[in-house]
């Protein structure tokens, strides 16, 4: 009885706080109109209107319905502004990037262990320091020093796939993890069953299955992170607590064996040197771990999932495989495998990679931004929207506030990639859409926003893109993807299905993978 009473009190307290936020919002109503959106409910706003599944598609649908590239909804006191076109996203997040470089507070991700990672850090000195640490190391020029590593790992992955075709997903996972761990820590991952693969799998599962960033009850009510599970019925919070060990292990285990000439070791050397000389430290050990963790989250998951989407579409479209191989044969010939120096001479391979990015963005809504101050776009008001309730309680509570209401801004990568004004038949997988007008093609633009916008664009995007390109080109040169047959000889149609959450991964599907020909098999064996 006492437990039920406590839960009722908690729910009443939360409802009361939401009501207070609503009152504050009503009293501070802007003179300019907010972007349009569907009708909401009293107090709850759009909390029950916004679907839990395929949220990005719903926002895209409302954008069409209200004939506006930018829409606004409100959920439990939080304003959500969604940018549904490339033009709107660039105008707001890039041209006004200095104002929209902040992040909302990701309380749930902090509980999980990602609090020191550049991707989720709020704007401030620590974010600037982490960004400075990583931007130089992962510029488009500096990542070229990893080309040989990426080529070696791509060829090793093809050999592993041919050895165990049914375990092709595991082999691709090893590729992605091997590259980011060697770049970050100098740690080698030689086998598909290496312990580091499981560490990475656990961390990616934890991150991808705990709900969308900035969208849980603890993100709205930070106080809730301190409450026991029996008192607060919030599945994402319980999940974050249960899986915190996975994120901690990812940061700690590779860090302990960081090798020379790699990002983490260089930062650690400078830290130890400052410590020995008694100099003021620029960053802590936790900062170094967080910087290395940012490389992992930027590269491992992206590379693996993108390669899986590529294979899915090669199984569904064998004619695209044949066209790609024809170009490879003309440009490279049968005596060697693709190298990075070939990239500019293989436009159709580039078109395939770009179409993989566009067809199914891995983060349909991306990671939300927050403005540092109020802003206006095309006559519509975008509030900074930060409200603190019960600030007077600080004298006897350790928390800065009981509830915060903030405006978050999403760039809807799904809507941008499937904009019918830009892409003809956007749900079709069609690399020919990028063929230039001068060559008689449609001349549609490469997709934008898959790696974020503005100052919050992913620092590891060049490394990840290089990994994807060399793996795709190597697989096309050496492997043949087909539909699998069951025991009766019938073709098995691959299931086109994706996970739903902050990241969108393809579900497992059946396929047949064989060597393209004997010459390719010999090349792989000799590489």
Residues that constitute the known binding site: 458
Radius of gyration of the chain (CA): 24
The residues that bridge with 485 in the sheet, in sequence order, are 491
- For 403, 458, 468, 475, the CA distances from 262, given in Å and listed in that order, are 42, 20, 21, 28
* Rounded Cα gap, residues 421 and 68, in angstroms: 13
Residues 422, 443: contact at Cβ < 8 Å? no
Q: How far is CA 461 from CA 95, 138, 311, 479, in A?
A: 20, 8, 21, 26
Please tell me the distance from the alpha carbon of residue 72 to that of residue 63, in angstroms, as a whole number. 10
**Given the DSSP bridges, would you call strands 479-482 and 512-515 parallel, antiparallel or unpaired?**
antiparallel
Q: How many CA atoms lie within 13 A of 482 on its CB side?
A: 10
CA 51, distance to chain mean position in Å, is 20
| CB neighbourhood size of 142 (10 A) | 13
Tell whether the torsion through CA atoms of 455, 457, 460 and 463 is positive or negative. negative
C-alpha–C-alpha distance, residues 126 and 281, integer Å: 13
Tell me the residue length of the chain: 527
- Rounded Cα–Cα distance for residues 201 and 207 (Å): 10
Contacts 24+ apart (CB under 8 A), 162-170: 162/479, 162/513, 162/515, 162/521, 162/524, 164/192, 165/512, 165/513, 165/514, 167/192, 168/311, 168/511, 168/513, 169/308, 169/508, 170/197
> DSSP labels for 260-322?
TTSHHHHHHHHHHHHHHHTPPPSS-HHHHHHHHHHHHHHHHHHHHHHHHHHHHHHHH-HHHHH
- Euclidean distance between CA atoms 58 and 370, whole angstroms: 21
Cβ pair 180, 308 in contact under 8 A: no
369: which DSSP letter? B
Binding-site positions for heme read: 458
* Two structure tokens written together for 30: 């802007």
């Amino acid at each position: 009885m006492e437990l039920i009473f406590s839960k009722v009190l908690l729910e009443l307290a939360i409802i009361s706080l939401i009501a207070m936020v609503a009152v504050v919002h009503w009293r501070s109503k802007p003179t300019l109109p907010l972007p349009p959106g569907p009708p909401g409910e009293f107090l709850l706003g759009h909390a029950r209107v916004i679907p839990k599944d395929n949220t990005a598609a719903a926002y895209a649908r409302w954008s069409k319905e209200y004939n506006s590239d930018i829409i606004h909804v409100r959920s439990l006191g939080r304003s959500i502004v969604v940018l549904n076109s490339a033009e709107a996203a660039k105008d707001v997040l890039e041209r006004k990037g200095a104002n929209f470089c902040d992040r909302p507070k990701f309380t749930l991700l902090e509980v999980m262990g990602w609090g020191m990672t550049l991707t989720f850090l709020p704007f401030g000195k620590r974010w600037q320091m982490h960004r400075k640490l990583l931007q130089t190391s992962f510029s488009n020029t500096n990542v070229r020093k990893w080309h040989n590593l990426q080529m070696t790992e791509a060829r090793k992955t093809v050999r592993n796939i041919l050895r165990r075709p049914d375990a092709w997903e595991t082999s691709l996972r090893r590729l992605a993890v091997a590259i980011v761990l060697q770049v970050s820590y100098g740690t080698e991952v030689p086998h598909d069953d290496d312990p580091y693969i499981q560490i990475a799998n656990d961390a990616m599962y934890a991150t991808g299955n705990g709900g969308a960033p900035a969208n849980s009850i603890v993100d709205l009510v930070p106080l809730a992170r301190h409450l026991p599970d029996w008192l607060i019925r919030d599945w994402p919070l319980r999940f974050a607590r249960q899986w915190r060990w996975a994120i901690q292990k990812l940061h700690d285990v590779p860090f302990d064996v960081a090798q020379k000439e790699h990002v983490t070791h260089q930062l650690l050397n400078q830290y130890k040197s400052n410590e020995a000389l008694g100099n003021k430290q620029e960053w802590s050990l936790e900062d170094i771990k967080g910087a290395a963790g940012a490389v992992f989250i930027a590269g491992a998951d992206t590379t693996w999932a993108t390669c899986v989407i590529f294979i899915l579409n090669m199984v569904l479209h064998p004619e695209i495989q044949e066209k790609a191989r024809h170009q490879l044969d003309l440009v490279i010939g049968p005596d060697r495998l693709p190298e990075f120096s070939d990239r500019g001479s293989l436009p159709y391979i580039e078109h395939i990679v770009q179409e993989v990015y566009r067809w199914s963005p891995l983060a349909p809504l991306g990671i939300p931004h927050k403005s540092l101050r109020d802003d206006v776009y095309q006559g519509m008001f975008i509030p900074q929207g930060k409200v603190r309730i019960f600030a007077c309680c600080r004298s006897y509570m350790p928390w800065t506030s009981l509830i915060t209401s903030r405006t978050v801004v999403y760039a809807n990568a799904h809507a941008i990639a499937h904009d019918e004004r830009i892409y003809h038949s956007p749900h079709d997988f069609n690399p020919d859409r990028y063929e230039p007008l001068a060559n008689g093609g449609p001349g549609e633009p490469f997709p934008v926003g898959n790696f974020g916008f503005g100052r919050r664009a992913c620092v590891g995007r060049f490394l990840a893109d290089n990994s994807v390109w060399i793996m795709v080109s190597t697989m096309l040169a050496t492997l043949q993807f087909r539909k699998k047959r069951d025991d009766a000889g019938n073709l098995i149609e691959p299931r086109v299905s994706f996970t739903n959450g902050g990241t969108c991964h393809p579900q497992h599907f059946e396929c047949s993978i064989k060597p393209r020909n004997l010459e390719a098999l010999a090349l792989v064996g000799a590489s």
